[in-house]
């Protein structure tokens, strides 16, 4: 026990020589007390009857032993140990002591100390100026420090982000091969087709192109967002912007467009996909060729077509679909692709009056080797009005890839009906109508469609007068053979293409 006290005193002396700002307890001394001698209680002075004499201060303090037990001790502090030396202004506490009381009259340190819950309580709640400054300035200083660090981290992040953006957009080391200033999109795509990758521009070129497009005006709205006309190097491009919620659809459509060897004059020409994070949200872009006539639906609403115009539209649509459906074997081959949402709003009309099949977001690909479909197909996707009977009544065999192609053919037949109605032969043509306009309401339910198409086995009307014109007669026949209830009995896209090619020769159509 004596040993412990001796050690403690040595410890206190060493500690007292260190001035710790937060351990200082200020005691203002009255002038009369300075320089006088006092007797103090001394827990370490067994030999002198627990009394010591000091020219400085009497001190009482508490400390913990074993981390828990409270011990009190009392000692004399000589004048020379007061701070500043010889001029007792401060009585020092030391690290490890929980409460320190200094005083300057005889046995004034006999008081019973309580373990404080804080330094302030040790002083009976009265705050000295140094403590006040420390208590107020400390947290304020800490807060400012955190704030400054936050601002610095944010600035650093922003600088890095901007730097990255600049690198991605401008880094000439990556892009110069492809993006020499005088190159147009046509040149780029030509380079691409001769370089032979067959699946699209390299990703960094796609990104660079996408990020230098200037958007002009909205040209369409669909399932997933907006379609804009944009400008790039003096030419027009179409930009389909997906909302960030539709990331999967964006990714899927970009993936399908980049299927090896998909490029075809009657399939919308894909240019770039880009996901641009502007710090707050992600913009998902799909850039493609722009076609000023817009969709076949818009086109037929505006214009009637000549027989030649009808054949061009129908033949080019069949060519696009035949290419999409076709499976090309070999390393540079392409898988068969079914569209699953073929309709006049998803086919675009090019300047030369031919079609380009667009909106491949719901397409599925056939994995030849495993004879499987590349995504788990859900039962009924697409537009209800154009759904084949086996899709409406859910009898479609989804394990069999050809089933999806047959469903596309049914929809193509409906598109042909929309085109043929607008064919101006001998001065007669009909107004534009959607298929089943006379049998179901707008935005029909699956049930309404199923009743008409499956139960009543109704199909759009093929007028008798079409028989008087060879082209319309052929079109009518093709439509009927696209609409069989039995999917397997329908024509193939390739068969339709051949039939219409012959017709175009007969009718002297220049494509």
Ligand X SMILES: Nc1ncnc2c1ncn2[C@@H]1O[C@H](COP(=O)(O)OP(=O)(O)O)[C@@H](O)[C@H]1O
Which residue's entry shows tokens 């009927």? 480
Q: Is 222 among the residues that bind ligand X (CB under 6 A)?
A: yes
Q: Is 345 among the residues that bind ligand X (CB under 6 A)?
A: yes
Q: Is 240 annotated as a binding residue?
A: yes
Provide, rounded to whole angstroms, the least separation between the CB of residue 210 and ligand X: 14
How far is it, in rounded angstroms, from Cα 254 to Cα 257?
A: 5
Q: Is 240 among the residues that bind ligand X (CB under 6 A)?
A: yes
**Of the candidate residues 12, 24, 77, 238, the single one contacting ligand X (CB under 6 A):** 238
Provide, rounded to whole angstroms, the least separation between the CB of residue 208 and ligand X: 20
Continuous segment of H or E residues that includes residue 442: none
Q: Terminal CA-to-CA distance of the chain, rounded, Å?
A: 111
Binding partner selected for residue 450 from Mg ion, ligand X, none, CB under the kind-specific 5 to 8 Å limit:
none
Q: Is 346 among the residues that bind ligand X (CB under 6 A)?
A: yes
Judge contact between 170 and 228, C-beta under 8 A. no
Paired tokens of 77: 């502090």
Continuous segment of H or E residues that includes residue 426: none
Whichever of 63 and 386 has its CB closer to Mg ion, that residue is 386
Q: Tell me, yes or no, if 341 is annotated catalytic.
A: yes
Q: Pick the piece of the chain touching Mg ion (CB under 5 A) from 187-195, 259-267, 352-360, 404-412.
A: 352-360
User: 118, 122, 56, 126: which is closest to 89 by C-alpha?
Assistant: 56
Continuous segment of H or E residues that includes residue 458: none
Map the footprint of ligand X across residues 349-408, applying CB under 6 A.
Answer: 358-359, 361
Binding partner selected for residue 316 from Mg ion, ligand X, none, CB under the kind-specific 5 to 8 Å limit:
none
- The site map against Mg ion for 355-374 (x = CB under 5 A) is ----x---------------
Considering the candidates 341, 359, 374, 408, report the single residue annotated as catalytic.
341
Provide, rounded to whole angstroms, the least separation between the CB of residue 404 and Mg ion: 17
- 84: preceding bond cis by omega (within 30 degrees): yes
How far is it, in rounded angstroms, from Cα 52 to Cα 59?
A: 11
State how far the alpha carbon of 425 is from the alpha carbons of 205, 465, 466, 473, in Å.
Answer: 48, 10, 9, 12
**Of the candidate residues 42, 76, 227, 271, the single one contacting ligand X (CB under 6 A):** 227
How far is it, in rounded angstroms, from Cα 224 to Cα 247?
A: 10
Whichever of 224 and 469 has its CB closer to Mg ion, that residue is 224
How far is it, in rounded angstroms, from Cα 185 to Cα 234?
A: 10
Burial 161-192 (b: 16+ CB within 10 A, else e): eeeeeeebeeeeebbeebbeeeeebeebbeeb
Whichever of 27 and 324 has its CB closer to ligand X, that residue is 324
**Of the candidate residues 78, 116, 198, 222, the single one contacting Mg ion (CB under 5 A):** 222
Map the footprint of ligand X across residues 99-158, applying CB under 6 A.
Answer: none
Provide, rounded to whole angstroms, the least separation between the CB of residue 296 and ligand X: 9
C-alpha torsion sign, points 294, 296, 299, 305:
positive
Whichever of 256 and 472 has its CB closer to Mg ion, that residue is 256
Q: Is 220 among the residues that bind ligand X (CB under 6 A)?
A: yes
How far is it, in rounded angstroms, from Cα 335 to Cα 367?
A: 7
**What residues line the site for ligand X (CB under 6 A)?**
219-220, 222-224, 227, 238, 240, 268, 288-291, 294-295, 298, 345-346, 348, 358-359, 361
Which residues of the shown chain bind Mg ion in the complex (CB under 5 A)? 222, 346, 359
Catalytic positions, please? Answer: 341
């Amino acid at each position: 026990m004596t040993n412990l006290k001796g050690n403690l005193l040595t410890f206190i002396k060493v500690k007292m020589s260190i001035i710790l700002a937060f351990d200082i307890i200020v005691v203002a001394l009255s002038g009369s007390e300075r320089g006088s001698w006092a007797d103090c209680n001394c827990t370490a002075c067994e030999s002198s009857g627990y009394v010591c004499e000091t020219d400085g201060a009497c001190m009482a303090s508490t400390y913990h032993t074993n981390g828990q037990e409270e011990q009190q001790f009392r000692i004399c502090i000589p004048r020379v140990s007061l701070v500043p030396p010889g001029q007792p202004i401060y009585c020092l506490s030391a690290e490890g002591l929980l409460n320190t009381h200094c005083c300057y009259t005889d046995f004034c340190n006999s008081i019973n100390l309580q373990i404080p819950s804080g330094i302030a309580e040790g002083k009976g709640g009265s705050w000295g100026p140094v403590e006040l400054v420390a208590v107020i300035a400390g947290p304020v200083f800490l807060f400012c420090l955190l704030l400054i660090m936050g601002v610095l981290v944010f600035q650093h992040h922003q600088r890095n982000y901007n730097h990255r953006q600049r690198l991605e957009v401008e880094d000439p080391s990556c892009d110069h091969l492809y993006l020499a200033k005088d190159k147009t999109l046509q040149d780029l795509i030509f380079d691409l087709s001769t370089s032979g990758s067959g699946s699209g521009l390299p990703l960094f070129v796609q990104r660079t192109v996408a990020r230098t497009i200037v958007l002009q005006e909205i040209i369409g709205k669909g399932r997933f967002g907006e379609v804009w006309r944009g400008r790039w190097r003096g030419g027009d491009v179409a930009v389909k912007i997906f909302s960030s919620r539709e990331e999967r659809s964006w990714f899927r459509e970009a993936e399908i467009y980049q299927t090896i060897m998909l490029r075809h004059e009657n399939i919308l020409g894909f240019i770039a996909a880009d996901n641009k994070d502007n710090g707050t949200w992600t913009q998902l872009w799909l850039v493609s060729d722009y076609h000023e006539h817009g969709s076949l639906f818009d086109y037929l609403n505006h214009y009637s077509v000549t027989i030649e115009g009808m054949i061009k539209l129908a033949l080019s649509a069949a060519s696009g679909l035949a290419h999409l459906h076709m499976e090309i074997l070999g390393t540079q081959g392409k898988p068969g692709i079914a569209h699953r949402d073929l309709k006049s709003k998803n086919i675009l009309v090019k300047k030369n009056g031919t079609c380009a099949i667009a909106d491949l977001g719901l397409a599925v690909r056939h994995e030849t080797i495993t004879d499987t479909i590349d995504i788990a197909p859900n039962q009924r996707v697409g537009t209800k009005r154009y759904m084949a009977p086996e899709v409406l009544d859910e009898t479609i065999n989804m394990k069999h890839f050809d089933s999806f192609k047959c469903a596309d053919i049914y929809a193509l037949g409906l598109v042909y009906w929309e085109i043929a109605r607008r064919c101006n032969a001998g001065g007669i043509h009909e107004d534009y109508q959607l298929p089943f306009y006379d049998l179901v309401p707008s935005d029909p339910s699956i049930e309404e469609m199923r009743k008409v198409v499956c139960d009543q086995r109704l199909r759009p009307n093929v007028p008798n007068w079409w028989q008087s014109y060879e082209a319309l007669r052929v079109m009518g026949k093709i439509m009927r053979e696209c609409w069989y209830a039995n999917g397997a009995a329908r024509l193939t896209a390739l068969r339709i293409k051949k039939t219409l090619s012959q017709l175009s020769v007969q009718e002297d159509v220049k494509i």
